[in-house]
Amino acid sequence: MRWTLKPKPEASKVAFLKEALQVDDIVATLLLQRGITTFDAAKTFFRPSFKDLHNPFLMKDMDKAVARIEQALESGENIMVYGDYDVDGTTSVALMSSYLKTRTDKIATYIPDRYDEGYGISFKGIDFADDNGFTLIIALDCGIKAIEKVAYAKEKGVDFIICDHHRPGAEIPDAVAVLDPKRDDCDYPFKELCGCGVGFKLITALASKQGQTAEDLTEYLDLVATAIGADIVPIVDENRALAYLGLQVINTSPRPGFKAIINQVKKETLTITDVVFIIAPRINAAGRMKHGNYAVRLLSETNANLAETYALEIEDYNADRKETDKRITQEALVQIEENKEQEGFTTVVYHESWHKGVIGIVASRLIETYYRPTLVFTKSGDKLAASARSVKGFDVYNALEACSEHIEQFGGHKYAAGLTLLPENYEAFKAKFENVVKETIDPKLLTEELKIDLDIELGEINNKLFRIIRQFAPFGPGNMSPTFMSQNITDTGWGKCVGEDDKHIRLTATQSFSACTEQSGNNKIVCIGFGLGDKIDMIKDKKLFSVAYAIDENHWNGNVSLQLKLKDIKA
């Protein structure tokens, strides 16, 4: 890893905020690094509320969307709620359909089959709507590039409202309304909502016509918080408020589907990290291994006993997913080694039998090993389908756009995308992708960056600092959990490798040349470094080293103490 220390804010600004908030230098600096410069901004940051949410009617086409849905409700039309099969898509469909069912019983949901229809709006879905008398489709987390599909639906007399958050192409679909804050002609003040977030803005706008506010829709925020975490959107501005409020719902009065999952994993209080690593993979597993409908059914269920049954079903899918992605990752690693592809600027692998539902996870795992923009391909019908993942700082979406002459279809974000191409174009695409990345990537991006907020002394770490840092949550892009570094560290002599195959390291750190007083904290602290067992020689024989870490709590035999969760060690 290359360590990058963030610039320190101006001393005068630190002093001002320190005085205004009555906090120490460390806390004032961390806040300034996050754009918090005043008492009022800090109050909003630490106490997010419904007041922080923007007026939904600031979004382009919101008035048109509300008018068309109100018309459908008044005239008793059949409405189809359509969404993608991932977490953002299925939570969006659960949110929109659950809300609309409080207004009408003429609601159905539709999730495309990952293997039969692929990502986004499908002709098959439109035909299903037409054959079954649906005159309005509300598409969530997809549709911004569905020019032909929306035109096809229009010919059949089926209207579309699109709620998306992906980047639009040169043309906007000819739908009744296209809600997407990333539209160039949309003045909505926050551009980084997830698909479920856009859906929440739509139901907020609909509810406002009934004299309700966003606060009256609190019960839906567990879905929004889960989508925010799973879709890795910046947890700043409106997303911070939605995630914060949604986590409160998850931890106090979650919907039966979430409650059933939480009961299975026996976790008391969930953080956004828990949502990402506990709830999201289980919801995703349905679409990956079976069908996204199973996730929507779980998330929409109001009967606790049925929710428990559905959650057990999804747990089985998740177990299958884990086993499958582990096997395919091993096969991909062998393929890379045999072909020495890690020596280039990209990693591109393919096998026709790999499970389409897990290739995105496999791409992420390969980046952990080789740290290159990565594509994992498999056979999908008569085409090849791939999931793309990128390294921090490199826009893989733009790279794919530069290779578009070899691609049938693609879409996604800066760091994650999906595409399909014809088998005969695979080698040409692969060569072009390698060349595009080689010509456009800054070589330093091929070494993982560890951004460090502050260089501090061990003696400055205490319970008060840890309590305040915890209030910086929910963490995520734009507000990552603070990472610190300390220099001139030595092990007290008891450092050792722990865990299976000695993968991890445990030591007690002490710091030389500390200017801290005893009152400011202890100059000796236990550290745990997961996956850092190979660094054991750096800490032996009283050698000096530096550590990068997060401040954490260790719970053992009823005792709670501070510890450092090491991210890296350098000589």
Residue by residue, what is the 3-state secondary structure of 324-390?
A: HHHHHHHHHHHHHHHHCHHHCCCEEEECCCCCHHHHHHHHHHHHHHHCCCEEEEEEECCEEEEEEEC
Q: What is the SS3 assignment for 480? A: coil
Final residue before a domain boundary, out of 446, 480, 507: 446
* Residue 287 domain flag: yes
End-to-end Cα, the chain, rounded Å: 13
Structure tokens given for 395: 């826009």
Strand order in the sheet with 374-380: 347-350, 374-380, 383-389, 416-421, 409-412
How many whole angstroms separate alpha carbon 106 and alpha carbon 77? 7
* Residue 516 scores a pLDDT above 80: no
CATH code assigned at 527: 2.40.50.460
Q: Which two tokens stand for residue 269?
A: 């209080």
Query: Is the same domain home to 514 and 557?
Result: yes
Q: What average pLDDT does this structure show over 377-399?
A: 94
Tokens 């990752």 belong to which residue?
Answer: 329
Residues 429 and 461 in one domain: no
**In this structure, is residue 334 part of a structural domain?**
no
Return the structure tokens found at 153: 């639906």
Nearest-10 Cα torsion for 471, 271, 3, 375: -150
Distance CA 155, CA 176 (A): 13
Overall number of domains in the chain? 4
Q: Indicate if 374 and 466 belong to the same structural domain.
A: no
Domain encompassing residue 16: 10-37
Indicate whether 118 and 202 sit together in one domain.
yes
pLDDT in tens, 35-79: 999 999 999 999 999 999 999 999 999 999 999 999 999 999 999
- pLDDT mean over 550-567: 91
Instruction: Give the mean model confidence (pLDDT) for residues 444-452.
Output: 95
Within a 13 Å sphere around the CA of 164, how many CA atoms are in the beta-carbon half?
A: 27
**So what's the pLDDT on residue 342?**
53
417 by DSSP, 3-state: which? strand
Residue 161 shares a structural domain with residue 273: yes
Residue 179 falls inside a structural domain: yes
Q: Rounded mean pLDDT of the chain?
A: 94
Q: Is residue 250 domain-shared with residue 389, that is, in the same domain?
A: no
Identify the band that residue 555 occupies on the pLDDT scale cut at 50, 70 and 90: confident
> Do residues 183 and 177 touch, judged by C-beta distance below 8 A?
no
Select the more confidently predicted residue: 71 or 556. Answer: 71
User: Is residue 323 assigned to a domain?
Assistant: no
Same domain, 190 and 279: yes
407, two tokens? 């691609």
If asked whether residues 392 and 455 sit together in one domain, one would say: no
Tokens of 281: 């993979």
What whole-number distance in Å separates Cα of residue 411 and Cα of residue 300?
28
Fill in the amino acid letter for 201: K
pTM for the full predicted model:
0.91
State the Cα–Cα distance between residues 145 and 154, nearest whole angstrom.
15
Question: What does the DSSP assignment read for 156-220?
Answer: TT-EEEEE--SPP-SS----SEEE-TTSTT---S-----HHHHHHHHHHHHHHTTT--GGGGGGG
Q: Which amino acid is at 218?
A: T
Task: Give the domain-ending residue among 413, 446, 479.
Answer: 446
Q: Is residue 344 part of a domain?
A: yes
Residues 197 and 288 in one domain: yes
Cβ atoms 109, 291 nearer than 8 A: no
Segment 247-299, tens digit of pLDDT: 999 999 999 999 999 998 888 899 999 999 999 999 999 988 989 999 999 99
Token output for 314: 């999804």
Residue 537 lies in a domain: yes
Q: Is residue 254 part of a domain?
A: yes
Planar angle of CA 169, 175, 179, nearest 5 degrees: 65
196 and 65, same structural domain? yes
CA 307 – CA 540 distance, rounded (Å): 52
Domain assignment present for residue 324? The answer is no
172-205 residue pLDDT tens: 999 999 999 999 999 999 999 999 999 999 999 9
Do 455 and 436 fall within a single domain? no
113: CATH: 3.90.1640.30
pLDDT at residue 518 tops 60: no
Cα–Cα distance, 403 to 536 (Å, whole number)? 44
Q: Using 50, 70 and 90 to split pLDDT, how confident is the model at 523?
A: confident
* Residue 423: cis peptide before it, omega within 30 degrees of 0: no
Query: What string of H, E and C letters represents the secondary structure of 76-127?
Result: CCEEEEEECCCHHHHHHHHHHHHHHCCCCCCEEEECCCCCCCCCCCCHHHHH
Cβ atoms within 10 A of the Cβ of 158, count?
19
Among residues of the chain, what percentage have pLDDT more than 70? 98
Residues 88, 200, single domain; the answer is yes
